[in-house]
């Protein structure tokens, strides 16, 4: 009993802290299947996918060093046994305003979000969200 009280308190404090630092859309996501992921270099440069409307939103909070944050929605191709990009969205690193993109994805399609940073032809910070269905 005692450890569960500690866990509940720590979980509550952690959840409160997480909601404090996440962008408005991320902190208020209520939809089933919603996914969130940040780059491995700047975890505060996140992307979110909202299955209701097939909308991908990406933020770029990097320190203005020439690297830009891009995210893509990928679908699972079972015939080729690989993930394939459906569409991508690049955040505006200059203004740090979120960029939203959408494309109609057939209901039930298995998807995930890939996020990475790029500068010219170089990439870094590659990361993937959990899987969900469009």
For CA atoms 39, 82, 134, 87, the dihedral sign is: positive
Give the pLDDT confidence score for residue 80 in this predicted structure: 96
What's the 3-state SS for 67-127?
CEEEEEEEEEECCCCEEEEEEEEECCCCCCCCEEEECCCCCCCEEEEEEEEEECCEEEEEE
The structure's pTM equals: 0.73
Q: Counting beta carbons within 10 angstroms of the beta carbon of residue 55, is it exposed (0 to 12), middle (13 to 18) or buried (19 or more)?
A: middle
Residue ranges per domain, the chain?
31-133
pLDDT at 95: 81
Listed as ranges, residues in the chain with pLDDT below 50 are 1-30
| Per-residue pLDDT at 29 | 42
The predicted structure's pLDDT at residue 26: 42
pLDDT for the residue numbered 32: 56
At the second CATH level, the architecture of 31-133 is Sandwich (2.60)
């Amino acid at each position: 009993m005692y450890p569960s009280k500690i866990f509940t308190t720590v979980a509550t404090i952690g959840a409160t802290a997480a909601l404090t630092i996440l962008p408005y859309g991320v902190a208020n996501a209520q939809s089933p299947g919603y996914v969130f992921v940040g780059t491995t270099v700047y975890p505060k440069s996140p992307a979110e996918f909202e299955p209701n409307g097939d909308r991908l939103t990406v933020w770029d909070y990097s320190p203005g060093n020439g690297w830009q944050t891009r995210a893509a929605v990928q679908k699972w191709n079972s015939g080729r046994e690989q993930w394939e990009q459906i569409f991508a969205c690049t955040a505006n690193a200059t203004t740090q305003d979120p960029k939203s993109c959408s494309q109609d994805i057939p209901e039930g399609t298995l998807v995930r979000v890939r996020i990475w940073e790029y500068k010219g032809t170089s990439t870094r910070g590659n990361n993937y969200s959990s899987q969900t269905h469009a």
